[in-house]
Structure 1
């Protein structure tokens, strides 16, 4: 039986304990919220969610040089997801590409970029995926990579050769915004995973600005992810920091519009980032010196020759297709109606030597770009059912030569190859 003195003591203690408990809960909620934001920075939902599937339940097919793999369930389901993982298990998968049972992940998972993520951000991400994500019971799907290429042990050697385990360290002589931008672009933003060319072992040829190949563009899954250096013609050389920020926030500016997987990045990631982080990314990207590109003369708009050919379309097969299918949106002058309709004159993606993205977007159109809940008014339609390979080659050749773009011709054979591979992937 409690004495009056003991009851009084307990009564005095409880009011002191409750604020401590409340503060702990608030701190926990803040950590989960921070993790939710960081998951958007990393665009985790884009890869770990299949079309019409549940968020983070995996199942998205990804094409690699060895065959197709499928992303994994990273919900906190204890049987099919990561619900039984410790924070150490989570960190090891995120930054080293090794999961709880010891098997290695394929480097399609951008863990070489995530290796740079700071410990406190890893902790916040873990809190979010354990407490802020709904569990989904959905088994992971085995890859389509045939034996013996599907053996995982060679990935241990790959990690030993190509994985740099050091977290990002601020660069001296650079301001806070530049370092923040570099940390996001190189780390959770994993921009190099798409925008840096890969070597023979599927490794990124550079992981930061000290490598000459970094962010100079790369082919991935039927698209050419554009050059993000200061290159004048095909990079960001003619863009201001404001232009870069506008693109990251809305998917379009006076120079270009988003397509391919970049649409998912805008929809799920960069538009949801705070203004300071987006501005920091723009600062960092605009600091990169020119690299890659065509090494040709600096672009200068010239509509004269193209305007003449469009007044007599029957004399040019590409011009004939352009007047019938393209001109009403992109204009006789090739300037479009930016940012609603992309310009073709001087567009870095039009001028790029590799025409994969132009062929792909002409064949298959663009996914819906949705900014602040509003779909883009004029998405690019798909022309694969309407135009044959030669017609697409002709019109793209016309566009790449027009308005002084000066890019190489497109061959019908290249269109046919991409038509086959993109249709097979559906």
Structure 2
């Protein structure tokens, strides 16, 4: 009897051991899938929109301004009552690609599902695994929008999707290399760069979703900030940037041409600094391939400091020069070249050359948010001048900067400053 028990025990142990291997392997595969999903969620910068200031990650509640009124982002934690815990993979895919929630209501296209429609099945599977198994559940009810009836009705969004939504998953372009196609997939898909950097039409739709449209990534005004031109345009785009310049900017938030500020700071803080060097290089390769579009209509920029030097030597008769010498020159220099990448250059900076000065006004009034790269805060953030400089002061100093070092950009009016300060 004891021998039979011993034999049974040994047999049971052997069977358990035999069965444990596949279970452990499955767990390992699942964890790898969750880790892959976490990386992809970084690429999509999901945390930036679905987390309110001071709130729990992915629990929603961030206010977003639209032409119709303010909406609030949703809870995408796996809480079954208030989040997406009840979503199947199919329901998750539909929300990502078509902007339709589990209960059938349409999401506002502030959710960049026209870009996410290009994401392939394997990546959506990994994202689903991460949000279901790698994100802590948070019970936080979603907040209704501030859009009033009848504009808050969702059914017209079905018509919007019918007209503007392209449902095709990204397909590699023949004749292009693997790096180019990877970069195109990231820029057009999870990176959803066009959501900010592509101008929108009368229906608030992006005017182009890929390089086949002239407006794609040609720069756009959004929520008081002007998202830069990312095409090969010489003055306001990436025409003077090398692929290494682009990859370095996405990794570190600064390079010899410019420094990140405004919403782009959050993109770098939450998303692009965590990307692999291979993915950064792929995005840079794709962006460098885009032909020049948009621009400020000026000849190709060439540095010239002669008139600026004279103005700064005799600032008494030039209010903008006087303000620059008082508040700006210590960091950005008399030559306007700053100390890149620590202190942004102003001479030839694409953001300075852009016809729309909204971003310059906003960053002068409100400064730059904290940018932490690999655990180290940026040492010289732009200070806030809203309480120090009047609307006329801001207009005059920015007009001086935009006219200096051969920048040749339009003047800034006090009315434009007052409008953005009020908004």
- With 5-14 and 71-80 compared, the bigger mean Cα shift is at 5-14
**Residue 250 (1) aligns with residue 271 (2):** no
Paired position in structure 2 for 1:424: none
Q: What is the distance in 2 between the residues matched to 1:12 and 1:199? A: 67
Give the deviation of 1:265 after TM superposition. Answer: 0.6
Q: Which residue of 2 aligns with 1:227?
A: 229
Look up the SS of the partner of 1:278 in the other structure. Answer: helix
Q: Which residue of structure 2 lines up, in the alignment, with residue 307 of structure 1?
A: 309
> Which residue of 2 is the match for residue 394 of structure 1?
396
Scaled by the length of structure 1, the TM-score of the pair is 0.97
Match of 1:46 among 48, 64, 72: 48
Q: What aligned pairs does 1:20-419 form with structure 2 within 5 A after superposition?
A: 20-419=22-421
* C-alpha distance in structure 2 between counterparts of 1:335 and 1:315, whole Å: 24
CA drift of 1:105 comes to 0.6
* Separation of aligned partners in 1, 2:156 and 2:310: 58
Using the TM superposition, give the Cα deviation of residue 320 of structure 1 relative to its aligned residue in structure 2, in angstroms.
1.1
1:314 to partner: Cα distance: 1.1
Compute the displacement of 1:150 (Å): 0.8
Residues 135-163 of structure 1, C-alpha deviations (whole Å, 9 max, x = no match): 11111111111111111110000000000
Structure 1 CA distance for aligned equivalents of residues 42 and 14 of structure 2: 44
Q: In 1, distance between residues paired with 2:413 and 2:90?
A: 51
1:9 to partner: Cα distance: 5.1
- SS in structure 2 opposite 1:224? strand
1:9-50 superposed Cα distances (whole Å, 9 cap, x missing partner): 544432221110010000000000000000000000011001
The secondary structure found in structure 2 opposite 1:299 is: coil
| Aligned equivalents of 2:111, 2:40: Cα separation in 1 | 17
- What SS does the aligned partner of 1:68 have? strand
Distance 2:93 2:144 in 1: 23
Unaligned runs of 5+ in 2: none
Query: For the residues of structure 2 that align with 1:403 and 1:51, how far apart are their CA atoms?
Result: 39
Q: CA RMSD in A?
A: 1.3
SS at structure 2 position matched to 1:404: coil
Separation (CA, whole Å) in 2 of partners of 1:9 and 1:321: 86
TM-score by length of 2: 0.98
Q: CA deviation at 1:317?
A: 1.2
Q: How many residues align?
A: 421
Helix, strand or coil: the match of 2:71? strand
Q: 2:204 & 2:262 partners in 1: Cα distance?
A: 20
Unaligned runs of 5+ in 1: 422-426
Distance 1:66 1:271 in 2: 33
- Give the deviation of 1:295 after TM superposition: 2.7
User: C-alpha distance in 2, partners of 1:37/1:385?
Assistant: 40
Matches of 1:230 and 1:55 in 2, distance apart? 36
Structure 2 Cα separation of the partners of residues 238 and 293 of structure 1:
13
